[in-house]
Amino acid sequence: MQTKRVTFGGYGVPALLVAPQLAVTLVFFIWPASQALYQSVLQQDPFGLKTEFVGLANFRRVLADPAYLDSFAITAVFSLVVAAIALGVALLLAAMADWVIRGATAYTTLLIWPYAVAPAIAGVLWWFLFHPTIGIFAYVLSRFGIAWNHLLDARQAFLLIVIAAAWKQVSYNFVFFLAGLQSIPRSLIEAAAIDGAGPVRRFRTIILPLIGPTTFFLLVVNIVYAFFDTFGIVHATTGGGPGTATTILVYKVFRDGFEALDLGGSAVQSVVLMAVVVALTLVQFRFIERRVHY
Amino acid sequence: MWIRRFAAGVAAVLAAVITTPAGAVTEIQWWHAMGGALGQKLEKIANDFNASQADYKVVPVYKGSYPEAMTAAIAAFRARQNPTLLQVFEVGTATMMAARGAVYPVYELMKNENEPFDPKAFLPAVTGYYTDTNGNMLSFPFNSSTPILYYNKDAFRKAGLDPNAPPRTWADVESAVKKLQAGGTTCGLTNEWPSWVLVENFSAFHNIPIGTKSNGFGGLDTELKINNPLVEKEIAMLADWQKTKLYDYGGRTDKAQPKFFSGECGISLGSSAARANILANGKFDLGYGMLPYFADVKGAPQNSIIGGATLWVLKGRPAAEYKGVAKFFTFLSRPETQAWWHQNTGYLPITLAAYELSRSQGFYDKNPGTDTAIKQITLNPPTENSKGLRFGSFVQIRDVIEEELEQAFAGKKTAKEALDAAVKRGNDLLRAFEKANM
């Protein structure tokens, strides 16, 4: 590090510079998170008239609930599938957009559009398309002899929320992948081509490793997205049903807290969810990042 | 949890802005859950009251769905910024009753403010649902509905069925749905609000208990009883019909409505308050009937039970506002107000006087079928099985029941397995509620 280093004298200026960020984190993360922690050890009626400290009783109750463990499994599968589909499709589209020369901007813009759609709107949109009675996709599928009824068919309901959730995230991933692909020097690819490497080989041995950091970043973001931001999609399409087939963790937090008014139980679930995401992110940085070359 | 706090904060700011004193008029915040056309009707009632006197102004605020309005008010109460008046749906009743420190019972309010109030003026099926064990009314009935049978007369004609004879028993329904399907209708029967229609009202109509302790009215140590042979018979039958679409499950809440008004299904069991919507969307001749029953069950048909909402008065507001609320309730009790609301919304007339008034005005002659709901709910004097239900955490229990019904209709569980599971899971929730409210 023999380059020029700019240092600050004292702590005043740096503190001032990070203060806004710290304030935002404090107000929008640390404070509510601590409230959730506090609520999770209380047994309280909805109106807050009677409050009793119950220690870890809420945790024991929630963690022993088979419905909760079910929801855990559903969420794990959901996140992985959504991340895989969103990343895969986005990479494919980005690779193709990178090839196109004429009209590239138009394609790119169109592909980015869905990201601007709010989750609840996306949910309603797909709900309409797949509605067993009035949905056009359901109609087309019935022409092929497939009876689409996500109101009763758990697998179809799951597929529906996966499609809706992944569709929205594809655009986001697409932007990053496209930028990643465009930053790869043409000369590298051309050299490989001269050496006789076909498109698939070039993609596997040159492009993929070079966009590794982007992929890794997107993987983290996608998992967090599937865990937290998909509430609106579930709420607008399946409402967690049929049965509990699409009740992902974040939806269960909402339902138990806001509909059933079980504040302690809902707070426990938020705390667990928070711990899971922290743990997942740590694992990803600790183990997967090692295999990524910047 | 922060969302709750944040919402409460926003509510507080809004309330502060809205309730800035304007002259000597006392403003009364009324949070409700009536959107769209119903919301406009509700606002008209508030405006009429405001125009009828100069001391009080009722300000209706639309707060979203029933659970959303209730959650918002609870959050506001915790932040000491609650509205005076809150519309709560029927299944939230037990939660509100348990919150003794937060609600101002209506019978006390009316007594303290010297306003006339006679619970006997209301339909027994309505009062039964909202009184405590001593017969005192804790909340003010506002909008009540009950499920009835709707059928597509055009589809009936096409299938060679008598369009003026709605099916009365489940055996009638069975032969009707088979003929409907043979006559080209895709599905025979569907229904809204699965738990309310197929379990709660089905039980009341057959005079069998939904739970012990008089359906929960007798105490918090109640247990569900819905895994009985009769409910099992009904669910098993529907699950069997589901395979060939004689019955087709249409989802929770009122999501099944399009199935009926698109003509896909020939018969629908739905809320009496859905009438306006069905008339607006269905392009066919609409028929009305009572809920079907099993003819071999002694005591059936009994009477159906209500859904809908009541108005609860929350504590913690200035004394003057309570005086205004009492006056507003007296205004709402007037037969003219009640009859107008009933005739324009499809909700039941909740006082006998409003029913008589509507009849003398010729409303039922001009709108045949609109009295089906009233006839059905007053078919017999309510028994302890048919006066309603009062279970804690019932919002959640309804979800549980509907989740299990879905498993049965999807063929993943037998009717018995599904109902047993619903009872077990429901009872766990009842025990938790009992523990929290002892």
pLDDT tens string B287-340: 999 999 999 999 889 999 999 999 999 999 999 999 999 999 999 999 999 999
Contact B403 A48 (CB under 8 A): no
- Asked if A255 lies within 8 A of B399 by C-beta distance, the reply is yes
CATH class assigned to B2-145+306-366 = alpha beta
Average pLDDT over residues B247-272: 92
Report the alpha-carbon distance of residue B301 to residue B423 in Å, rounded.
24
Q: How confident is the model at residue B379 (pLDDT cuts 50, 70, 90)?
A: very high
Kindly report the nearest CA distance between residue B260 and chain A, in angstroms: 10
Name which of B68, B259, B403 is nearest A241 (Cβ-Cβ).
Answer: B403
Cα nearest neighbour of A260 on chain B: B396
Q: Which residue among A133, A239, A259 places its CB closest to the CB of B67?
A: A259
Which chain A positions have a beta carbon within 8 Å of B258's beta carbon?
131, 133-134
* Residue A39 at interface with chain B, using a CB cutoff of 8 Å: yes
With 70 as the cut, is the pLDDT of residue B407 above it?
yes
Q: Which residue of B has its CA nearest to A45?
A: B436
How far from chain centre, in Å, is Cα B68?
A: 16
Residue B307: φ, ψ to 5°: -130, -170
Which residues of chain A are within 8 Å of residue B79 when distances are taken between CB atoms?
Answer: none
Residues of B with CB under 8 A from a CB of A: 1-2, 4-5, 67-68, 71, 74, 77-78, 95, 98-102, 242, 249-252, 255, 258-259, 262, 264, 393, 395-396, 399, 402-404, 406-407, 409-410, 412, 425, 432, 436-437
Q: How many CA atoms lie within 13 A of B150 on its CB side?
A: 32
Residue located via tokens 């980005």: A94
Chain B: closest CA distance from residue A158 (Å) = 15
- Sign for the pseudo-dihedral over CA of B274, B279, B282, B284: positive
Choose the CATH number for B147-304+392-436 among 3.40.190.10, 3.30.365.10, 3.40.50.300, 1.10.10.10.
3.40.190.10
Percentage of chain B exceeding pLDDT 70: 95
Contact A35 B258 (CB under 8 A): no
Distance from CA of A76 to the nearest CA of B (A): 21
Across chain A, mean pLDDT equals 87
Strand residues in chain A grouped as ranges (E): 42-44, 51-53
Residue of A47, A53, A244 for testing the chain B interface, max B β-carbons within 10 Å: A47
- Touching check for A259 and chain B: CB below 8 Å? yes
Put simply, the chain A residues between 60 and 99 with a CB less than 8 A from any chain B CB are: 61, 67
B249 to chain A, closest Cα gap in Å: 8
DSSP string over B343-397: HHH-PPP-BHHHHHHHHHTTHHHHSTTTTHHHHHHTSS---TTTS----TTHHHH
Q: Is the backbone of residue B188 left (phi > 0), alpha (psi -120 to 50) or beta? A: alpha
Give residue A3's pLDDT band: very low, low, confident or very high (50, 70, 90).
low
- B102:A133 CB<8 A: no
Distance of alpha carbon A233 from the chain centroid: 12
B175: which 2 tokens?
């032969």
Helix (H, G, I), strand (E, B) or coil at A292: coil
Q: Pick B396's closest partner by Cβ from A32, A39, A260.
A: A260
Q: Chain B within 8 Å of A263 (Cβ-Cβ)?
A: yes
Q: Where are the alpha helices (DSSP H) in B22-132?
A: 36-52, 66-78, 93-98, 106-112, 124-130
Residues of A in contact with B399 (CB under 8 A): 255, 259-260
Give the largest CA-CA distance in chain A.
Answer: 77
Are A241 and B406 an interchain contact pair (Cβ–Cβ within 8 Å)? yes
The full DSSP string for A11-65 is: SHHHHHHHHHHHHHHIIIIIHHHHHHHHHTTEEE-TTSS-EEE-TTHHHHHHHT-
- In angstroms, the separation between the Cα of residue A90 and the nearest Cα of chain B is 33
Hey, is the C-beta of A152 within 8 angstroms of any chain B C-beta? Answer: yes
Grouping H, G, I as helix, E, B as strand and the rest as coil, residue B410 is coil
Question: CB distance B402–A241 less than 8 Å?
Answer: yes
Shortest Cα distance from B82 to chain A (angstroms)? 11
Measured distance CA(B149)–CA(B55) in Å, rounded: 45
Q: Which residue of B has its CA nearest to A135?
A: B258
Q: Of B195-209, B350-364, B383-397, give the range with the top mean pLDDT.
A: B195-209
Strand partners, B311: B87, B140
> Using CB atoms, which residue from A28, A131, A242 is nearest to B406?
A242
The answer to whether domain B2-145+306-366 and domain B147-304+392-436 are alike in fold is yes
pLDDT, mean of residues A262-273: 91
Is B102's CB within 8 Å of A49's CB? yes
Searching chain B, which residue's CA lies closest to the CA of residue A40?
B1
A48 part of contact set with chain B, CB < 8 Å:
yes
User: DSSP letters of A255-279?
Assistant: IIIIIS--HHHHHHHHHHHHHHHHH
| Cβ <8 Å between A47 and B99 | yes
Chain A positions touching B432 (Cβ under 8 A) are 61, 262
pLDDT, position B20: 47
Residue written as token pair 């009540």: B144
Q: Which residues face B190 on adjacent strands?
A: B268
Give the residue with greater pLDDT, A113 vs B235. Answer: B235
pLDDT band at B5 (very low <50, low <70, confident <90, very high): low
Q: What is the pTM of this model?
A: 0.84
**Among B102, B393, B399, beta carbon nearest to A47:** B102
| CA proximity to A33, closest of A282, A281, A272 | A272
- 3-class SS of residue B193: coil
Domain boundaries, chain B: 2-145+306-366, 147-304+392-436
B89 torsion bin: left (phi>0), alpha (psi -120 to 50), beta (else): beta
State whether A243 and B249 contact (CB < 8 Å).
no
pLDDT in tens, B184-230: 999 999 999 999 999 999 999 999 999 999 999 888 999 999 999 99
**Closest alpha carbon to B389 in B140, B202, B169:** B202
Residue B21 has pLDDT above 60, yes or no: no
Distance of residue A262 Cα from the nearest chain B Cα, in angstroms: 9
Beta strand pairing call for B85-89 and B307-313 = antiparallel
> pLDDT for A149-191, tens place per residue?
888 899 999 999 999 999 989 999 999 999 898 888 888 888 9
pLDDT at B280: 85
**pLDDT on residue B23:** 56
In three-state secondary structure terms, B151 is strand
- Å between B90 CA and nearest CA of chain A: 14
Contacts of A50 in chain B (CB under 8 A): 436
* Contact residues on chain A for B255, CB-CB shorter than 8 A: 151
Distance from the Cα of A14 to chain B's closest Cα (Å) equals: 29
Between A208-217, B51-60, B376-385, B413-422, the lowest mean confidence (pLDDT) is in A208-217
Give the residue from chain B lying closest to A35, CA to CA: B1
A263/B303 Cα distance (integer angstroms): 37
How far apart are the C-alpha atoms of B288 and B338, rounded to whole Å?
23
Q: Report CA-CA distances (Å) from A259 to A37, B69, B95.
A: 20, 10, 12
**Nearest of B119, B170, B197 to residue B295 by alpha carbon:** B170
A contacts of B74 (beta carbons < 8 Å): 46-47, 261
Average pLDDT, chain B: 90
CA distance B207 to chain A (A): 28
Residue B17 has pLDDT above 60, yes or no: no
Q: What is the DSSP letter of B291?
A: P
CA distance B56 to B324: 6
- At residue A85, what is the residue type? I
- Domains of chain A as residue ranges with CATH: 57-291 (1.10.3720.10)
The ipTM is: 0.77
B154: which 2 tokens?
């055009």
How far is residue A126's CA from residue A130's CA, in Å, rounded to a whole number?
6
